[in-house]
C-alpha cells in the first residue's frame, strides 16, 4: 500500500492484544485519516538512506541535479531529503490530507500540489523525478502504471533521471511474515497510536489487500478508531521494461537496494532508474 505500509524489518515497539473487530462505520478512504498519524507509525523509515542511494546513482551517471519532482510525496519524508540536498523541489500527491501534513513539516521553499500520477501536468521540467515507497503499486493496471510513467517522462528535462521503487508480484503476495504487523507509536504531541495492519492476497484480482486499523488517543482521555483499505498490484522487471519503453525512456536499469545488484527471482522490491 504505497508509502503507507510498514516494512517487514520495522521493529514493533509494543504488541497489541484483544484487538477489536473492525466495523463498517470506521472505514475511511486511503490516505485520509491515516495522514494524521502516518509519520508516527513510519518513524523508522530510512528516507535518508534511500536519498543517498538515489543521488549516488545520479552522480555516478553524470547527472547534475538542481531540481527534483517528488511524486506521491505523502507527508514529505523523502521530499525533505531532496530539499536538504540543496535542490529546488516540487512535491505532488493525490491526498490533500497527506499534503496538509507535508506543508506543516516542510520549508516554505518546497512547492506542493495535489495531482493524480496518471494525469498531472506542471509547467516545468526537472533534472530528477522520484516516486518511492512502492507508491506506483497503487496503480492497479499496467495501463495506469504506463500513464504515470509517461507523465513522469514528460516532466523530465532531456538527460534527466526517474528513480522509483516497486514491489514485485512476490513482494505483494508475501508482504509480511504472518500477514500482519502491529505496534504502538507516539505522535509528536504525545498521543499514542495503536496500529494493527493485516494483509491478504486476492488471487482473482491479482492484488494484495491491506486493512490498516488504527486506534488513536484523542487528547481528551478517549480513543478514535478507523480503518483504511489499501490495494497494491505487483510488477516484475519483465512487466516494467515495455512500459518504460512506451513511456519514452531511452534506457533504464532495474536493481536491488542497497547494492544496485540485478534482481533475483525472489526479490520482493526493485528500484528502477530510467533516463530521459
DSSP result, 143-203: HHHHHHHHHHHHTEEEEEEEEEEEE-HHHHHT-SGGGEEEEEEE-TTS-EEEEEEEEEEET
DSSP-assigned letter for residue 230 = E
Asked whether residue 131 falls in the same domain as residue 51, the answer is yes
Asked whether residue 114 falls in the same domain as residue 154, the answer is yes
- pLDDT bracket for residue 64 (50, 70, 90): very high
Q: Is the pLDDT of residue 14 over 50?
A: no
- pLDDT bracket for residue 25 (50, 70, 90): low
- Whether 2 is in a domain gets the answer no
Looking at residue 18, what is its pLDDT? 34
Instruction: Look up the domain containing 224 and give its range.
Output: 12-43+171-232
CB 39 within 8 A of CB 75: yes
- Whether 6 is in a domain gets the answer no
- pLDDT bracket for residue 189 (50, 70, 90): confident
Looking at residue 23, what is its pLDDT? 38
Q: Is the pLDDT of residue 160 over 70?
A: yes
CATH code of residue 131: 3.40.50.150
Higher pLDDT, 41 or 189: 41
Asked whether residue 207 falls in the same domain as residue 96, the answer is no
Looking at residue 115, what is its pLDDT? 98
- pLDDT bracket for residue 26 (50, 70, 90): confident
Asked whether residue 32 falls in the same domain as residue 100, the answer is no
Looking at residue 222, what is its pLDDT? 82
Looking at residue 61, what is its pLDDT? 98
Query: Which run of H or E residues covers position 216?
Result: strand 207-217
Asked whether residue 116 falls in the same domain as residue 156, the answer is yes
Looking at residue 142, what is its pLDDT? 98
Average pLDDT over residues 92-97: 98
Of 55-64, 170-179, 226-235, which gets the smallest average pLDDT? 170-179
Asked whether residue 178 falls in the same domain as residue 103, the answer is no
- Whether 3 is in a domain gets the answer no
Asked whether residue 103 falls in the same domain as residue 162, the answer is yes
CA distance 120 to 116: 5
- pLDDT bracket for residue 192 (50, 70, 90): very high
* Whether pTM exceeds 0.85: yes
- Whether 7 is in a domain gets the answer no
Asked whether residue 206 falls in the same domain as residue 258, the answer is no
Q: What is the DSSP string of 61-91?
A: TT---SEEEEET-TTSHHHHHHHHTT-EEEE
Percent of the chain whose pLDDT exceeds 90: 86
**Residue 107 CB burial class (10 angstroms; 0-12, 13-18, ≥19):** exposed
Structural domain count of the chain:
2
Residues 6+ apart with CB under 8 A from 24: none
Asked whether residue 222 falls in the same domain as residue 263, the answer is no
Average pLDDT over residues 137-163: 98
Average pLDDT score over the chain: 91
Asked whether residue 62 falls in the same domain as residue 77, the answer is yes
Joined together, the cell numbers standing for residue 173 give: 503476495
Amino acid at each position: 500500500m504505497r508509502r503507507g505500509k510498514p516494512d517487514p524489518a520495522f521493529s514493533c515497539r509494543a504488541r497489541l492484544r484483544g484487538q477489536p473487530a473492525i466495523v463498517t462505520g470506521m472505514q475511511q478512504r486511503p490516505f485520509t485519516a491515516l495522514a494524521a498519524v502516518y509519520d508516527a507509525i513510519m518513524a523508522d523509515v530510512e528516507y535518508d538512506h534511500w536519498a543517498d542511494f538515489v543521488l549516488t546513482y545520479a552522480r555516478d551517471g553524470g547527472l547534475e541535479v538542481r531540481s527534483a519532482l517528488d511524486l506521491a510525496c505523502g507527508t514529505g519524508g523523502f521530499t525533505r531529503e531532496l530539499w536538504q540536498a540543496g535542490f529546488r523541489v516540487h512535491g505532488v500527491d493525490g491526498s490533500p490530507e497527506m499534503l496538509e501534513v507535508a506543508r506543516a513539516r516542510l520549508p516554505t521553499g518546497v512547492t506542493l500540489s495535489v495531482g493524480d500520477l496518471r494525469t498531472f501536468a506542471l509547467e516545468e521540467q526537472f533534472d530528477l523525478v522520484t516516486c518511492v515507497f512502492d507508491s506506483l503499486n497503487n496503480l492497479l493496471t499496467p495501463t495506469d502504471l504506463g500513464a504515470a510513467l509517461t507523465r513522469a517522462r514528460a516532466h523530465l528535462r532531456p538527460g534527466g533521471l526517474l528513480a522509483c521503487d516497486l514491489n514485485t508480484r512476490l513482494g505483494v503476495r508475501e508482504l509480511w511474515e504472518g500477514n500482519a504487523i502491529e505496534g504502538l507509536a507516539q505522535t509528536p504531541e504525545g498521543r499514542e497510536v495503536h496500529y494493527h495492519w493485516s494483509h491478504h492476497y486476492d488471487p482473482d484480482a491479482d492484488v494484495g489487500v491491506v486493512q490498516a486499523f488504527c486506534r488513536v488517543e484523542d487528547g481528551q482521555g478517549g480513543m478514535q478508531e478507523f480503518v483504511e483499505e489499501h490495494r497494491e498490484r505487483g510488477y516484475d522487471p519483465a512487466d516494467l521494461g515495455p512500459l518504460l519503453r512506451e513511456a519514452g525512456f531511452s534506457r533504464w536499469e532495474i536493481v536491488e537496494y542497497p547494492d544496485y545488484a540485478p534482481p533475483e527471482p525472489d526479490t520482493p522490491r526493485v528500484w528502477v532508474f530510467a533516463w530521459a
